[in-house]
Amino acid sequence: MSVTYHEATKHSYWSVRTEGGGLDWSRQPSPFKIYANAPLIPLDLDRPWHRFIYLLGGINASKSYPGITYYLRTIPSAGALYPIEIYFQARGHRDFADGIYHFDVANLGVRLLYELRDGEGVEYLFPDKRQVEGLLFLYSGIYYRSSWKYRTRAFRYLLLDGGHALGALEAAAFWINHGYQIRYRFDRAKLHHHFGFGQGEFFLASGVVGRFSDQEAQGLGMELDFVDGTGHFLPDPRIEEAYWDGIALRGCRLQPRFPQNPFQPQKLEEAILKRRSARDFTATFMKREQLEFLLHYMGDVIPSDCDEEVRIWTLVHRVEGMEPGIYLNGRLVKAGNFAKEGSYLCLEQEFVQRTAATFFLTSSGSNYQPLYQKAGHIGQRCYVGGSYLGLGVSGIGAYYDDEVARFLGTSEMVLYALALGSHSGG
């Protein structure tokens, strides 16, 4: 089904010109989900673990236009629609009482949804039922926030945004000097029941920032009422089918290794907080050492229970000491300056021509949801690393799928594109 969905949502030169349609602003979804009946615990940003939660996706800027204000966060999101919700379970943690929480981004706090009783925990829905001492994060997606604008292709954006959120978890873990791991294998349907989800919200992944004990979780008595996370909703059966048909993971490869932390903590925090999607690229050269730093970080291991290979293709346009061309794994595949071709492939977005390099991420993996979220995670590494180096980055989820594959000379699925370079805001 994932292959069927991917094929059905490809862009082409003709499809983007014939499948248009304006946005129904009367049905614009809210970007915030609020559990108004649950107690709010404000985040004290002077406390490291509270600040850790904030770095996962808190508001750090806003942009106002006539009649509307967009609240920007520490993570990027396609169209600034922010479909990802963050929940977490705390157990034996010094700053959060044992319970299940929701990150209330709009109110800069967390909501206590449920107090854990002895032996309880969401861990009972994972293959390894061992209790986590620390924080266990659960990431969900509310797909209408994206499908309102991007229609059925929105499931791709949802997964990429989920991957960006996982990448933000990694960056925050680096900042607080703690390990983490990602888990995709858990009982989604039962977890949805516990959280009272409707058809428009579903869990995508989990992240562990803690240690495993010898005790197993013995179930969970929590049954939350449904809380609307959009204000408006139009179902898309194709997205829902793609999700449910793709949760049965097969042949998962465990990646137990942890990536190297290449950052200084204070500089890393500054990079997270000032990160923005750039468009104002200046057509100037970047240093080869900067690109090599980024590629090493982007290609480093990601600890998870269902790892898929994602290839990083680099179109080098303006990098000191490097011949322009298409590179794969540091090897020049085809020489030439392909800035114009890269711009065309990314739906003819002119700013791509002014970048120093363009990345395309591809995969032939079989577990669609983990591999797509891994692409988003790699994209978040590009954003954080680029911001750390003072460079601009722009994630691009729209491109001419088959033309990109032909241009690269691959039969793999094209998952994501990223533009990189110097910019006037840097």
Q: What is the pLDDT of residues 110-129, one digit of tens each?
A: 999 999 999 999 999 999 99
pLDDT exceeds 70 at position 1: no
% of the chain residues with pLDDT over 90: 93
| Out of 69-73, 242-246, 408-412, least confident range | 69-73
**Amino acid symbol at 196:** G
The residue-averaged pLDDT of 135-157 equals 98
Which pLDDT score is estimated for 180?
Answer: 98
Q: Which helix (H) or strand (E) holds 368?
A: helix 368-388
Which pLDDT score is estimated for 92?
Answer: 97
Q: Give the separation between CA 130 and CA 127, rounded to whole angstroms.
A: 9
The residue extents of the domains of the chain are 2-248, 275-421
**3-class DSSP state for residue 269?**
helix
**Amino acid symbol at 363:** S
User: Does the fold of domain 275-421 match that of domain 2-248?
Assistant: yes
The residue-averaged pLDDT of 40-55 equals 98
**Amino acid symbol at 334:** K
| Contact (Cβ atoms closer than 8 angstroms) between residue 313 and residue 280 | no
Pairing between β-strand 253-255 and β-strand 413-421 as defined by DSSP bridges: unpaired
Instruction: Report residue 80: phi and psi, to 5°.
Output: 55, 40
Q: Which residues are paired to 112 by β-bridges?
A: 101
Under DSSP, the state recorded for 330 is T
pTM of the entire structure?
0.97
Which pLDDT score is estimated for 63?
Answer: 81
Q: Give the separation between CA 315 and CA 414, rounded to whole angstroms.
A: 15
Was domain 275-421 assigned CATH 3.40.109.10? yes
Structure tokens at 263: 């950052």
Instruction: Report residue 327: phi and psi, to 5°.
Output: -120, 145
Which pLDDT score is estimated for 101?
Answer: 99
Which pLDDT score is estimated for 426?
Answer: 62
Average per-residue pLDDT for the chain: 96
Which pLDDT score is estimated for 231?
Answer: 96
Neighbours of 167 (CB within 10 A): 24
The residue-averaged pLDDT of 127-154 equals 97
pLDDT exceeds 70 at position 14: yes
pLDDT exceeds 70 at position 179: yes
Which pLDDT score is estimated for 372?
Answer: 98
User: What fold characterizes domain 2-248?
Assistant: NADH Oxidase (3.40.109)
Tens of pLDDT, residues 214-233 = 999 999 999 999 999 999 99
Residue burial 177-210, b: 16+ Cβ < 10 Å; e: rest:
eeebbbbbbbbbeebbebbebeebbbbbbbbbbb
pLDDT exceeds 80 at position 170: yes
| Contact (Cβ atoms closer than 8 angstroms) between residue 306 and residue 249 | yes
The residue-averaged pLDDT of 39-61 equals 97
Tens of pLDDT, residues 290-321 = 999 999 999 999 999 999 999 999 999 999 99
pLDDT exceeds 80 at position 2: no
pLDDT exceeds 80 at position 204: yes
Sorted by sequence, the CB contacts under 8 Å of residue 25 that are 6+ apart come out as: none
